[in-house]
A and B are shown apart, each in its own frame.
Chain A
């Protein structure tokens, strides 16, 4: 299932099955609004271990939050490090994620990359991950 792209929008149960298969260590929570998965990742062996949460509601782009440890980013720096005002990560442009893509092959590795660039930003004061800095036309969710 890893990396598989199915050309029809995945249902919530399909995303659940994929996550169970690819990231069984992630804790899955179901609520009336949708699903969320919480798990620990560390982008490199030298990096901290981060707890992230992916919130997913059907027909809405998923959101990724870093739950632990607290991010050391002031609100003024949110745009530099690509964080939305609500505090979740801006990981893709419109059109780069499609509902037929699994979360495991997109948001989890994208978040891992973001965490690496975040540590490099803490280390050097520079954002090495590139990205678009134009004003977004939508809120994150």
Chain B
């Protein structure tokens, strides 16, 4: 028998199951196409609008859709699609920042198509496409003092400008996606969610898994859940180029737990890596939220260690289900079963290594004759 590691037809690694889970989590092709049409439509509409045209609005995606890290919401929630509407205005000459939000809202409200969908939020105008997603339009102005791609966004509650840098963040994140084996090139302003899971940078899958684990863990206490931007940033900081998603998740968990220990007794601070005036984790000033995050990461870490040690597909599946939910775990397992049964039907199965079921193309494999499980 050959001693080299055999590649199994299915259930070859935890990574295969994680790919299957991520496939089920991301925005589907049809929703993605619809979201893209909506975003381009809004961009074209605002660009031509008499109230805004003079400020040369530029509409571009931000957040998970831009980064390729969307996660199917559980229950009845819709996907979030976040857009920035950047207006060429000088914030220092606007006494009331909320007026900019009013201006974008008024522009959208004058459209018969958009008016019934509108909902005013603290920092954005939301368009509710019920049952599919909501599209948040975040008005912004260039932060001339900070320069570069930094922007200021109006905050209604604070009645003030808040610093941000969505373009810079996306560029930073794409840079962090580089693996040890290849440099993944940054995509242009297109929505990268169209990428198939197999083509995605492992970091993007890691982020999807963290967000899904968060959604499962905080299903009944959503108000305490850590924000997606915090999880995304922590994953990107602690990712060190692993090609294996399972290895990457483990290393990110270790990195986050280390940085929590280093920050103690103070809380961890997660600033925007491209604009340190923006503290993504400001809500952790409330200790219940920070404690909930610590519990989440510690339990995730314990379960991840158990997953590495688990043997038996039933045991692996049970841990994945606990972490990421029954629906996506079942779908990933069933995909592997279909792959295996297809090879069996085609009689292309063989045996190699220590009894590993593989494809017969492997030179050391023995092809398996057809047989029927017999019953009594």
Interface size of A in residues (CB-CB distance below 8 Å): 53
Mostly, the A contact residues are: loop
* B312 near A116: Cβ-Cβ < 8 Å: no
Docked complex Cα distance between A96 and B349 (Å)? 17
A123 within 8 A of B: yes
A73 within 8 A of B: no
Per-residue interface assignment for chain B, residues 338 to 351, with 1 indicating a CB less than 8 Å from any chain A CB and 0 otherwise? 00110010000111
Beta-carbon nearest neighbor of B360 in chain A: A3
* A123 near B317: Cβ-Cβ < 8 Å: yes
Q: Which of A46, A82, A84, A112 contacts B13, CB < 8 Å? A: A46
A135 within 8 A of B: yes
* A132 near B11: Cβ-Cβ < 8 Å: no
Docked complex Cα distance between A22 and B355 (Å)? 11
Smallest CB–CB gap between A23 and chain B, Å? 6
Smallest CB–CB gap between A115 and chain B, Å? 8
Q: Which of A23, A43, A45, A101 contacts B1, CB < 8 Å? A: A23
* A124 near B355: Cβ-Cβ < 8 Å: no
A47 within 8 A of B: yes
* B357 near A116: Cβ-Cβ < 8 Å: yes
Question: For window 92-141 of chain A, which residues contact chain B by CB distance below 8 Å?
Answer: 92-93, 96-97, 101, 104-106, 108-110, 112-114, 116-117, 119-120, 122-124, 128-136
Beta-carbon nearest neighbor of B14 in chain A: A46
Residue in B1, B357, B375 with the greatest tally of chain A CB atoms within 10 Å: B375
* A123 near B314: Cβ-Cβ < 8 Å: yes
Docked complex Cα distance between A82 and B111 (Å)? 65
B189 within 8 A of A: no
A41 within 8 A of B: yes
A65 within 8 A of B: no
Within 8 Å CB of A93, what residues of B?
371-372, 374
* A105 near B366: Cβ-Cβ < 8 Å: yes
Beta-carbon nearest neighbor of A40 in chain B: B354
B94 within 8 A of A: no
Docked complex Cα distance between A49 and B350 (Å)? 18
Q: Which of A22, A42, A136 contacts B366, CB < 8 Å? A: A22
Within 8 Å CB of B367, what residues of A?
3, 105
B369 within 8 A of A: yes
Smallest CB–CB gap between A62 and chain B, Å? 12
Beta-carbon nearest neighbor of A90 in chain B: B374
* B355 near A110: Cβ-Cβ < 8 Å: no
* A96 near B369: Cβ-Cβ < 8 Å: yes
* B12 near A45: Cβ-Cβ < 8 Å: yes
Docked complex Cα distance between A128 and B369 (Å)? 18
Docked complex Cα distance between A49 and B282 (Å)? 49
Count, A-B residue pairs, CB within 8 A: 146
* B313 near A120: Cβ-Cβ < 8 Å: yes
Beta-carbon nearest neighbor of A52 in chain B: B355
Within 8 Å CB of A129, what residues of B?
373
Given contacts A47-B11, A112-B357, contact A123 B313 (CB under 8 A): yes
Docked complex Cα distance between A110 and B356 (Å)? 11
A48 within 8 A of B: yes
Given contacts A22-B1, A108-B351, contact A113 B374 (CB under 8 A): no
* B372 near A128: Cβ-Cβ < 8 Å: no
Docked complex Cα distance between A116 and B337 (Å)? 10
Docked complex Cα distance between A125 and B314 (Å)? 10
Smallest CB–CB gap between A41 and chain B, Å? 3
* A40 near B355: Cβ-Cβ < 8 Å: yes
A6 within 8 A of B: no
Within 8 Å CB of B375, what residues of A?
79, 82, 90, 131-134, 136
Docked complex Cα distance between A136 and B375 (Å)? 6
Smallest CB–CB gap between A48 and chain B, Å? 4
Smallest CB–CB gap between A63 and chain B, Å? 12
B8 within 8 A of A: yes
Docked complex Cα distance between A25 and B314 (Å)? 27
* A84 near B376: Cβ-Cβ < 8 Å: yes
Docked complex Cα distance between A114 and B344 (Å)? 12
B103 within 8 A of A: no
B333 within 8 A of A: yes
Question: For window 60-106 of chain A, which residues contact chain B by CB distance below 8 Å?
Answer: 78-79, 82, 84-85, 90-93, 96-97, 101, 104-106
* B374 near A92: Cβ-Cβ < 8 Å: yes
* Shortest Cβ-Cβ A-B pairs, 4 listed: A41-B355, A131-B373, A122-B314, A90-B374
Known: A42-B356, A116-B11, A119-B313. 12 other contacts (CB 8 A): A3-B367, A43-B357, A44-B11, A45-B8, A45-B11, A91-B373, A104-B366, A110-B368, A112-B351, A114-B373, A116-B313, A123-B318
In the assembled complex, 19 residue pairs joining A and B whose CB atoms fall closer than 8 Å, in A order, are: A22-B366, A42-B356, A44-B12, A45-B13, A46-B11, A48-B311, A49-B311, A49-B354, A92-B373, A96-B369, A96-B370, A96-B371, A108-B355, A112-B356, A113-B344, A119-B312, A119-B314, A123-B317, A133-B375
